[in-house]
A and B are shown apart, each in its own frame.
Chain A
Amino acid sequence: MTSVDPALSHLAESLAAIVKTDSVPHLRAHLSGRTLPAMGGDEDPADILLRAFPLIQTTPDFMERLARLLGDLISEEVAALTAEGFSPQQLSLLRSALYLASSLPAETNLFSSLKNLLEIPVIHGRGEDRAKLSLPLWQALVYQQTDASLEETWLSLLAPEQQGPSKPAQRTLLLTAWRGLLWIPPSQEAMQAEEGTNFDRIQNGIQTLYRSLLLQQGDDFGQSEVSSFIELCLDILQETFPRSGEFWARNLRSHSADWPSALATIVLARWPLPPQIDRPSPQIFSQEDRRSLDRALAKLAEVDSRMAELKATADDLVDYYETHRLDEALNSIAVLLTHFGPALGVAATRLSRDIAAISRQMELLRAWQEMEKHTLSDVPQVEDVRRQEMIKMIKTLIRRARRRRV
């Protein structure tokens, strides 16, 4: 008795020989089930072939060559298509070929053949061909992409098609399209820059998907299910690009300003910033701080004719007291500085931009340092009560916040 199934060993040898000789007919015979061993268990031919893969050791580039050969096989089947569509045997063969394709590494020839299959009208019709091939084809295309040519296709699958209650099959297609979008390989330029993650594409995709889900809400698929579905999509994102939660928090937050607020809430809740820099202790901004800031604002308002505008900005600042969100406070200060830019000079405008950029990334400790640096050295010493008050206010805030953090 051996520890390896001899039938699988035999199959592995056969597969290695098929790849070595580029034999499409022999691969077809395996995939159609004609030349497979008796395994039991109702497995698809593709799954029986996959069980033999670990036993193939003599051909280092076996998977890539098999993928190329599988591309040839699919092309031949597409070329043999008649007006009546595929025969039941062809359907069965192609379905197994697609199952296998989804488990092989991306290969140009295979990707091209799958795209040709996608162009065939029967794939999108209503008959048996569509029922048997459509989903396996999308699932295979997800992992076979060697360029970005399907980006618009995935986005159109994600886009809301029609309003009405969502069906499980629609959601399966949405999830497949989301995976498809994520599995688009980076461009040459992005590769050179070592940027595997395309945030514009991700945010475009997630927003499109979210809008689709909203349109498809119904009795069985309400807001709670939409949220769960988005969370699942975020999980898939993290699985596709294994990065830390902090990575996603940092990068997605900088894109999330334009998102629907409910979507942004789901994403920001999924990847909160580490506690030490996300939400400073409520004590950081005490009632005393608030009074101090209010006094500063009032004084500024006295000397500034743009009272209404300033008051509106000040209201933003009040909000942060209520939420104790230091990041929002910094944003508000940045906005305030922008308004006072002409009076404070160019340096203040730059300072406000820097603060805004830094606080968007939630790197608050760094923001404090930058603010301090700018306020001490970069802002011109203009004799202006507004500038002095602003600088004083910021420095006070920084000092108190630091003291409380310690």
Chain B
Amino acid sequence: MNGQPPETPNTFKVFDRERDHHPWQEAFQEMQRLDVDRRWAVAANWRMDHRVSEDREWGDLEASGHFTSVRNANDWWEARKNYFQQEICQPVTPGPTGKISAYGRPTNAANRIADRISAFDKLVHVASFSSLLRRVSRSDRSAEVEAILHQLTGQRLLSNWGPLNAQVSMLARAMLALGPEVIRRIAGLLADSLGEQEPPWWASFVEEVQTALDSKNALALCVALGLGHLPTGDWLLVWRYPIKEAGPLYRPTVLEANDSPFHFPSPPGCALGITMPLDSAQAACREVLHRPLRGRAAVEFCTGELFFLERLPVLRDNEVLVKLRTQHRARIQRELSLTGLNAWMLRHPEITP
């Protein structure tokens, strides 16, 4: 029940806790409108996500200082971005600065997955190839990556970035022609070159997306894993690995989901995250967070495949997004019989057009 009465859908809440005169109230009311920018979906998630504990809210989010002067929706949106960039995109073990990522801090201990999960079970992580290339091209190891890419494929990193372009595809096709070993090696190289600023990896269990993986179809993977943010024309890299390679697992929260409108918080009582597939006919998968793979593991557990995302149905219209969220709620209710589930849903009715 999370300590909340089920019959109070109209009271202002943040992280599923009722608030009186909260500094974000005005900002969140502003973001309730179903505007074209889709911020309403992110704001709705922040209001309903019980997974952000009071410890994390006060000991981390408020203490970070990013949210101290929030007066309107734009202030809040910028503070959220800064929190993500400066508090989440950090190493999970103390680096030279001593700072660790917010999801690994003691204030987020409630989301560390304590359940014993068999070490032989396997996770899958899917990453945007162009996004990895872009990040690496801006890192201080870009020359090293470029030299090895050049040596292996005859291609180079892009040094300036526009929208997805033909050069990414040329590189991907060159890698495909050279085979899985080269793809693995380059995938590992990219993973190692991202430094400590890489956000945590989102991962699901392999068996739940086996059909999509077997299909070798990027669209099927995106639909199954709820990757609605990827642009058409992107390429996907895939890692499949035993849980023991991932280190401690965490239940994701809206704070790690950054600005994704395709995230939906898992309900109270659920020990893991749950994906929101991009198709109502798909089953939702369990999902977790963990530190990015590095070194040998990043090479060995890459599948050596690259999938081209030829076309992703545009799910970004508000009407479609609302429908997706509504169907996801129904899916969760069908599947789970958790105490307090209905009350949580009632406390956070879906915004309707």
Contacts and interface: CB of A to CB of B under 8 A. Distances in A.
A32 to B, nearest CB: 6
Contacts of A142: 159
Interface stretch (A33-41, A193-201, A354-362, A377-385): A33-41
Interface string A1-21: 111111101100000000000
Contact of A38 (B82, B156, B259): B259
B77 A39 contact: no
B22 interface: no
B140 A37 contact: no
Interface in B213-230: 228-230
B244 interface: no
Interface stretch (A114-122, A167-175, A261-269, A344-352): A167-175
A7 B147 contact: no
Nearest to B161: A103
A7 B159 contact: no
B320 A40 contact: no
A41 B156 contact: no
A171 B316 CA distance: 42
A319 interface: no
Contacts of A175: 142-143, 146
Nearest to A103: B160
Interface stretch (B36-44, B53-61, B180-188, B282-290): B36-44
B259 A39 contact: yes
A89 B86 CA distance: 10
A41 B230 contact: yes
Contacts, number: 144
B173 interface: no
A34 B160 contact: no
Given A42-B199, A168-B144, A232-B150, A7 B38 contact: yes
A338 interface: no
Interface stretch (A47-55, A283-291, A391-399): A47-55
A92 interface: yes
Interface in A202-251: 225, 228-229, 231-232, 235-236, 239
Interface in B256-293: 257-263
Contacts of A5: 314, 316
Contacts of A174: 143
B313 interface: yes
Nearest to B74: A34
Interface residues of B, number: 53
B333 interface: no
Nearest to B76: A34
Query: Chain A interface residue count: which class?
Result: 35 or more
Contacts of A51: 163, 231
Nearest to A220: B144
A41 B163 contact: no
Interface string B45-88: 00000000000000000000000000000110110011011100
A1 B163 contact: no
Contacts of A41: 128, 131, 229-230, 260
A312 B150 CA distance: 44
A228 B231 contact: no
Contact of A40 (B81, B86, B151, B259): B259
Interface in A134-191: 135-136, 139, 142-143, 168-169, 171-176, 179
B138 interface: yes
Interface string B22-45: 000000000000001111011000
Contacts of B316: 5-7
A206 to B, nearest CB: 16
Nearest to B131: A41
B141 interface: yes
Contact of A235 (B38, B75, B156): B156
Contacts of A236: 156
28 contacts: A5-B316, A6-B316, A6-B317, A7-B36, A7-B38, A33-B82, A37-B36, A38-B37, A39-B229, A40-B259, A41-B131, A41-B230, A45-B81, A47-B161, A89-B82, A92-B82, A92-B85, A139-B138, A139-B160, A168-B140, A169-B141, A171-B144, A172-B144, A173-B143, A228-B151, A235-B150, A236-B156, A239-B156
Interface of B: 36-39, 41-42, 74-75, 77-78, 81-82, 84-86, 89, 128, 131, 134, 138-144, 146-147, 150-151, 156, 159-163, 199, 228-231, 257-263, 313-314, 316-317, 320
5 closest A-B pairs by CB? A40-B229, A40-B260, A37-B37, A169-B140, A33-B81
Given A103-B160, A139-B159, 9 more contacts: A1-B320, A2-B314, A7-B36, A7-B316, A32-B81, A34-B77, A37-B39, A92-B82, A102-B159
